[in-house]
Amino acid sequence: MTRALFQRALLPLKAHFIVLSILPKEISMTSPAPQTRRKLIEVSIPLEKINEQSAREKSIRHGHPSTLHLWWSRKPTSTARAVLFAQIVDDPGSRPDLFPTVEEQDAERRELFEIIEQISNWDTVKNDPEGWFDKAREKIMLYTDGNPPAVADPFAGGGSIPLEAQRLGLEAHASDVNPVAVLLEKALIEIPPKFTGQPPVFPGAAEVLDSDDSSAWPGATGLAEDVKRYGEWMLEEAKKRIGHLYPDAELPDGTKAPVIAWLWARTVTCPNPACGIAAPLTSSWWVSKKKGNEAYISPIVTDGIVHYEVHHGKEGGPIRKMMAR
């Protein structure tokens, strides 16, 4: 008698993998080799629909995970969902025990294709009245004999793969050497599940729905309400304490508006004893060179203090002079 551990490494996306583990079993040396099950992704998947949704995802902003924080080479969530699902379920042609005839196999394959097309759509993620994700989870349980694999992504980055593994009902593990990536992964896949179905704790927040019952706050809506309210509270407190350091900008028509970005530069004391001002170190005084929206800064020294004025237009703007060697 011998013991064996079968592991299958699958590649949903470049430099990522899933490890599907089958518990060790005692196998007779004389037993015939088990029949290999081909995964759906090895046979055929609706690539055109998946690509279409992946391209569309680039223009989605409101409520999308990618808006949490910019991350380079972020994998489209639609692609991650589709590929994960297609790698776990078997191709019906490899399961004559479930689908004996070719007709039944073709019908099942069409159903799997429809599930992939639907769960790849971001609209289905936001609103799934027909229960396409429930159908996807049922198929995963069917093809894994009720024992779906865990998904491990050691280079998770923006967290698309483990996030979508969770959405498909799979146990997900993620890691990364970059602490920013780890923070993103915690915010996406570790913290929300801990507060699923719980009402918000911010004073008075639960009264929005006149209920502190968990059923009134499905998913992570309670946590989202807390993040929103505590974020607003922190903003107001920050304005009270340091708001005077960030005054509103005065527009040409005399009105004021909040500043959306502040530019800063290091300063160095002028070595000239007769000067001694705090001179800014900058490579350019231009704020914007966009055609029709040019703007630049002019430094003005008054009584040993540098003041700055913002000018609009190209006329009078700073000119870079090239020095000959």
Q: What is the predicted pLDDT for the residue at 310?
A: 86
pLDDT band (50, 70, 90) for residue 21: very low
pLDDT at 5 over 70: no
Return the DSSP state at 311.
Answer: E
Q: Tell me the per-residue pLDDT of 48-78, one tens digit each, with 9 for 90 and over.
A: 999 999 999 988 888 888 888 888 888 999 9
Q: Which of 100-109, 183-192, 193-202, 203-212 has the lowest mean pLDDT?
A: 203-212
Check: pTM over 0.75? Answer yes or no: no
C-alpha count within 13 angstroms, C-beta hemisphere, residue 232: 7
Percent residues over pLDDT 70 in the chain:
85
Q: What is the predicted pLDDT for the residue at 60?
A: 87
Which of 77, 92, 69, 176 is CA-nearest to residue 133? Answer: 77
- In the 3-class helix/strand/coil scheme, how is 164-184 assigned residue by residue? HHHHCCCCEEECCCCHHHHHH
Q: What is the predicted pLDDT for the residue at 29?
A: 43
H or E element: which one contains 267? strand 267-269
Q: Tell me the per-residue pLDDT of 228-243, one tens digit each, with 9 for 90 and over.
A: 999 999 999 999 999 9
